């Protein structure tokens, strides 16, 4: 306990640790991060004296089982509030994981262990020092790019998934639309993730993909994909109009139903194979199980439903 009556803990770090982050936190503390009281260097490395936080790590809490969605999101929001202040100062934590999160009996949340933390570097390049914990560390932290606040966002996505499923998002996603948040956080490409904590907090409140309601081929606003999609949709409509031509007046209604069915079935099949709106999650929440067989099963079910729809539509039209 120091002279301020605060219980402290002394931690020892190797000499290659970045002390500038500790110095910044000591000078200007951030709520939700243990206060730093001293940083002392020696031949064997650095000794940091910081506030001791009473509570259990999130890892210990999770040993009791998975969390309900409401509780997992609440914890993520608390964590986001801390990370947002940290990122505004230009600091990346670099090792967000259950073992580095402490929950107190009063419900407060603390982010600890800043040995992998660093200030964001503006120059283009790659991380030369590999830091972080496998599974939670983003690809760029293993030399595939330059880590920045989006690296922490990747870890938050993994954390959210682990809290609800007990597994890495590569193997299983949580049910419902919250899986959209996890998948966007953990995208391999940092440019496709939430670009800052504010965006992530909005995503937690209203989970949705960017342009998710646009047709397949237009969701990413990629010019090449949009051109191909236009050609594809155009071909479907052209084929539907040209292939079904009635020869007699009494065939008009029936052929009209066939045209409608062909267009609906073709576009629906495209949506199934490109997982529009996460439709594949209905049969397989586990990414590794979303193989072609599942897509064909969904297509077959969709075929039966559309044929039934065409039958009833035809009956309704013939009734007039």
Q: Are 81 and 118 in contact (CB under 8 A)?
A: no
Domain residue spans of the chain = 8-51, 56-205, 223-318
Q: Backbone phi, then psi, for 231, in 5-degree steps?
A: -65, -40
Q: What digits encode the pLDDT tens for the residues 248-274? A: 554 556 667 777 778 888 888 888 777
Q: Give the pLDDT confidence score for residue 15 in this predicted structure.
A: 83
Six-digit token string for 78: 């608390």
User: For residue 296, is pLDDT > 80?
Assistant: no
What is the band of 164 on the pLDDT scale with cuts at 50, 70, 90? very high
User: With respect to CATH, is domain 56-205 assigned 1.10.510.10?
Assistant: yes
- The rounded radius of gyration (Å) of the Cα atoms in the chain is 27
What is the band of 96 on the pLDDT scale with cuts at 50, 70, 90? very high
Q: What digits encode the pLDDT tens for the residues 280-295? A: 665 555 555 555 677 7
Q: Give the pLDDT confidence score for residue 20 in this predicted structure.
A: 93
Query: Over the range 226-247, which residues count as b (16 or more CB within 10 Å of their CB) and which as e?
Result: beebeeebeebeeebeeebeee
Q: Give the pLDDT confidence score for residue 232 in this predicted structure.
A: 85
The residues, any chain, with a CB within 8 Å of residue 25's CB and separated by 6 or more, are 33, 35, 36, 114
Give me the sheet containing 56-57, strands edge to edge: 56-57, 101-103, 109-111
Structure-token match 């079935």, residue found = 265
Mean pLDDT (the chain) is 84
Q: What digits encode the pLDDT tens for the residues 186-245? A: 999 999 999 999 999 999 988 766 555 677 777 667 788 888 888 888 888 888 777 656
What is the band of 300 on the pLDDT scale with cuts at 50, 70, 90? confident
DSSP class of residue 167 equals S
3-class DSSP assignment, residue 72: helix
Say what the pTM is. 0.68
Residue 24 CA, distance from chain mean position = 30
Structure-token match 């200007």, residue found = 28
DSSP class of residue 280 equals G
Report the percent of the chain where pLDDT is more than 70.
81
What is the band of 76 on the pLDDT scale with cuts at 50, 70, 90? very high
Q: Of residues 39 and 278, which shows the higher confidence score?
A: 39
């Amino acid at each position: 306990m120091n002279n301020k009556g605060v219980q402290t803990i002394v931690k020892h770090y190797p000499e290659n640790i970045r002390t500038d982050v500790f110095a910044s936190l000591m000078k200007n503390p951030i709520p939700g991060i243990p206060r730093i009281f001293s940083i002392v260097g020696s031949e064997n490395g650095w000794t940091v004296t910081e506030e001791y936080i009473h509570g259990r790590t999130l890892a210990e809490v999770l040993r009791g089982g998975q969390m309900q969605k409401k509780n997992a999101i609440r914890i993520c929001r608390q964590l986001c509030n801390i990370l947002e202040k940290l990122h505004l100062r230009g600091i990346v934590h670099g090792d967000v994981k259950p073992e580095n999160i402490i929950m107190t009996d009063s419900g407060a949340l603390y982010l600890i262990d800043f040995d992998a933390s660093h200030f964001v570097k503006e120059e283009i390049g790659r991380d030369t020092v590999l830091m972080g914990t496998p599974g939670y560390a983003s690809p760029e932290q293993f030399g595939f790019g330059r880590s920045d606040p989006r690296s922490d966002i990747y870890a938050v996505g993994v954390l959210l998934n682990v809290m609800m499923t007990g597994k890495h998002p590569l193997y299983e996603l949580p049910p419902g639309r919250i899986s959209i948040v996890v998948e966007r956080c953990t995208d391999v490409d940092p440019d496709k993730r939430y670009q800052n904590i504010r965006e992530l907090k909005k995503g937690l409140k209203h989970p949705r993909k960017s342009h998710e309601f646009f047709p397949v081929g237009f969701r990413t606003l990629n010019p090449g994909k949009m051109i191909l999609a236009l050609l594809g949709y155009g071909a479907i409509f052209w084929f539907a109009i040209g292939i079904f031509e009635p020869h007699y007046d009494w065939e008009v209604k029936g052929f009209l139903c066939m045209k409608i069915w062909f267009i609906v079935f073709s576009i629906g099949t495209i949506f199934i194979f490109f997982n529009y709106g996460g439709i594949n999650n209905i049969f397989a929440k586990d990414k590794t199980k979303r193989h072609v067989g599942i897509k064909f099963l969904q297509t077959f079910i969709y075929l039966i439903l559309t044929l039934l729809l065409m039958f009833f539509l035809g009956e309704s039209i013939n009734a007039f």
